[in-house]
Structure 1
């Protein structure tokens, strides 16, 4: 019915025509549509109103800044506000970026979102407390591999419980980054804190997990961020056995235990290019670092010497030599 359509009524026998609009309410939606269509500011050819576009752009910018702020707050919570990561001196900070030309390839490359879940706007921080009296060489090598696979924001700190730290330990994660950085540009945060602790500790999510203790256990965690490892039980058990050999015999054992471990490695390397087969694994990283740190590599048999040179030809193993 039209807004101005008339409707006859009868009063006292006399016919009276009154506009319908006098006793019916107009359709508000139709009025708005008509008004919008007749407005001189109406969008043409389906284009959005410039004011609406400006409002949307402003909202997107606000959301981006909120995500950045969330990342900064999460990073502070994970590295400063926790009892096991109290810092009193920031020594160096650096960033790593993936290097496709020098990256080490693994048959099953890990995906952070699959392993750790998606976390919009927040950097995934790895915080490690280590004693400078025994630097975690395995973790330094794995850090180099992580930098080739992910965008890593790295930092080294010194805790007040440590009187002094050699210069090579202050730069063990790479050169200091001179420019400013935004945490949201990175996938992983890797913070190494030189602290007087009896055993190496690592926290990944300080609110949801207990610390992981021991260099071997932390190395297993970090390597899974690079590769899920063998899916079959037998190869996976072999890698675990070799990692235990590295830390319990090569690193902590006496001369006889070290010699026995080197003989076992020599036999394995007579059958394969790498310790656990045809592909580099955590066993190679752990055994190399422990052999170098303990001095056992100096008296290694022929196959082990050849394998040591093959490891050193991969640039990231150089981080295990801090002298």
Structure 2
């Protein structure tokens, strides 16, 4: 395996990650989506679609749907792969399942305006909602999904002085993966919002400004830190992979310019330097809900080994970067 070759890194990660969904969560669902995306790019790959349907089909039922809807966005986003599997198999039961999850986000006041998705404005919800509502809109053209998504992206705001994003109102700290969730969510949303939507330009500019602010904090090694603006916090794997994905996606789709090319290459180097031949990673922040103190983020534990969260995001990054480089 060539250490820095996106196609080969993607092939490696797709063998190790995305082999289970239960208990459903975005960290496993994103990996399954990555495997399916890779199978579309490399038709003769070793990824067997029946092995994936065997994993997911037992969960596609009304009882499990009710359980999922009662959960939070991290669980809801475990079904992002439904778009890919529907396109590959032609079976609409997968996207219909996702659509029913997305329906739970269609909450409006008496004037017909969308209600806040999360009153505490957790940045994770930018990704979760964009992943669900964008896909539901793509397959239905129901403007309600688009209205809720656009309203969420326009109403959520970064901290005014730095242009970075707090984890949430109750945890006003610039968590690395939190800011990466924002970049990932905006990239997802911009993929699905049609060009004739009057708010798309505003959303693009908001995303571009955040990216430019983040580039100021990229370490010379290419990585971003566990707390973006704190040099005493460690260089962190998942934030770097997720921001890297957003850079590659933005370049491929035209909403980011060539100014991100060199930071993108360095982000790729930082990620691949932390992946071993068995798919293990290092310097990956463990699961993190809102924390009370800045020091709790700075000193948050890391995974050094196999990790679904890290593997899934690195798989997406490797596929998107490989597409940008023309390797697929």
Interval containing the TM-score (normalised by the shorter chain): under 0.3
Larger-Rg structure = 1
Select the structure that is richer in strand: 1
Instruction: Say which structure, 1 or 2, has more relative contact order (CA 8 Å, 6+ apart).
Output: 2
TM-score by length of 2: 0.24
TM-score by length of 1: 0.25
